[in-house]
Structure 1
Amino acid sequence: MDTEMKARNDISTYQRQGFGTPLELKPPVGLLIIDFVNGFNDPDVFGGGNISQAINNTVPLLEAARKSGWPVAHSRIVFADDGADHNIFSLKIPAMLTLKEGVHNSAIVPELTPAEGEFVVRKTVPSAFFGTSLAAWLAQRGVQTLVVAGAVTSGCVRASVVDAMSYGFRPLVVSDCVGDRALEPHHANLFDMEQKNATVMTRDEALSALAEITA
């Protein structure tokens, strides 16, 4: 069986079993940008793949969010200077402990620098929700549809999207504004999130659809 036919059969199985039901997008809308920091923009540190392109694609998305007045949150991985919060995530990936508060690699990339009033979540695990006040911050602002950009698709993006869904938000993953250091897990996780947890659209598709529900 060739790869194309296998892919069609796999999709047919998901459809037959009831996966992939479209999520209705509802206002208010918020934006979450996950871990677009210098270290993830550098192939010699934690980057590679299509992450840098995803960062570039996110610049107009953030501009649109600000123009529309959406609540905007960013996340960073930040461990204590003395490593006192060393955890299982950093045991699995010891280099994560190098991401400290004042370190260049932990800083959000300049082109996506948070504006005044935008929430910056500091975390030590993949999900931007686990052990943080992000869910409460979004709920206080009435967010129903949460637009998601960031890195990496198969890691912190996926974990955050699953938690967003679990908290009752409607995730909208912007496929060309999320990136991974390898393309196979990027595409596989986009497919899986679309089947189980989220709506997946390109940036232009997402902005068009969101303009319709917020007009």
Structure 2
Amino acid sequence: MSEESQVFKRQGFGTDVDLAPPFGLLIVDFVNGFADPAIFGGGNIASAIASTQPLLQHARHSGWPVAHSRIVFADDGADHNVFSRKVPGMLTLRENCHASAIVPELAPIAGELVVRKTVPSAFFGTMLAAWLTQHGVSTLLVAGCVTSGCVRASVVDAMSLGFTPLVLTDCVGDRAIGPHDASLFDMQQKYAMVMNSQAALALCSQAVSGN
């Protein structure tokens, strides 16, 4: 165990929490622009998209509420904000822009919520929390990108709003691995349960069966 990990453990961080049903799935910003290394992608985002495909199939088969998020700015840039000032290219993500569309392999189906946002968190200024509450979600599985940005922001807000976030290490990606790893560590210590999708789905099945 690293010296940093020992400090967190000694101070009582990283405690496991129960994963109670009902479960829901949030897929953050897996859009064409973040799948393309020439635009906003790179790192391990492509592999995270691939790993999310069977996860999404499982969620649909299990009847879980599924929500997706996209970054979508107004065509005239009227909603230009601090986020787009820090990353001006975000303003190219508009409603009918190919880069802002969810990747075809994870395309939403009828009954799944699509949240449009102009800030990192999928919760801030959207109806996501109300929708998840309406569907009775207790534990929220989280996939998407980027781990150090919109995923982390969404996880912090999910926890703050009373959902138990479960971050799937193989289903989240970042354009750089250093921030990805650091953010997974940080979320595990403070805000969420963090594990790979295979382990997560096994625990979810155990929780549902009562074993």
- If the TM-score is normalised by the length of the shorter chain, which range does it land in? over 0.9
Query: Aligned match of 1:133 in 127, 136, 141?
Result: 127
- After superposition, the CA RMSD in angstroms is 0.6
Q: What's the CA shift string for 1:59-104, capped at 9, x where partnerless?
A: 0000000000000000000000110000000000000000000000
Given candidates 159, 169, 182, the residue that maps to 1:165 is 159
2:57 matched to which residue of 1?
63
Please tell me whether residue 32 in structure 1 is matched to residue 26 in structure 2: yes
Counterparts of 2:87 and 2:153, CA distance in 1 = 16
Moved over 6 A (4+): none
Instruction: Name 1:199's counterpart in structure 2.
Output: 193
The share of aligned pairs that are identical, in percent, is: 68
Distance 1:130 1:173 in 2: 19
- The answer to whether the aligner puts 1:85 opposite 2:79 as a matched pair is yes
Q: CA deviation at 1:9?
A: 1.1
Tell me how far 1:8 sits from its aligned partner: 1.4
In the alignment, structure 2 segments of 5+ residues that lack a partner are none
- Which letter does structure 2 place at the counterpart of 1:158? R
Question: What SS does the corresponding residue of 2:2 show, helix, strand or coil?
Answer: helix
SS of corresponding position for 1:55: helix
Paired with 1:36 and 1:69, the residues of 2 have a C-alpha distance of 21
1:104 and 2:98 matched: yes
Which of 94, 103, 108 is the aligned partner of 1:114?
A: 108
Offset of 1:127 from its aligned partner? 0.1
Question: How far, CA to CA, are the matches of 1:184 and 1:59 in structure 2?
Answer: 24
The alpha-carbon deviation at position 23 of structure 1 amounts to 1.3
CA–CA distance in structure 1, aligned partners of residues 10 and 197 of structure 2: 29
Tell me what 1:211 maps to: 205
- Find the residue that maps to 1:25 and give its secondary structure: coil
Q: Return the alpha-carbon distance in structure 2 between the equivalents of residues 90 and 117 of structure 1.
A: 30
Aligned to 2:40: 46
Amino acid at match of 2:154: S
Q: Distance in 1 between matches of 2:202 and 2:58?
A: 11
Aligned length: 209
Which SS does the other structure have where 1:131 is aligned?
A: coil
Structure 1, unaligned runs of 5 or more: 1-6
Match of 2:89 in 1: 95
Q: Normalised by the size of structure 1, how large is the TM-score?
A: 0.96
Deviation at 1:214, TM superposition (A): 1.4
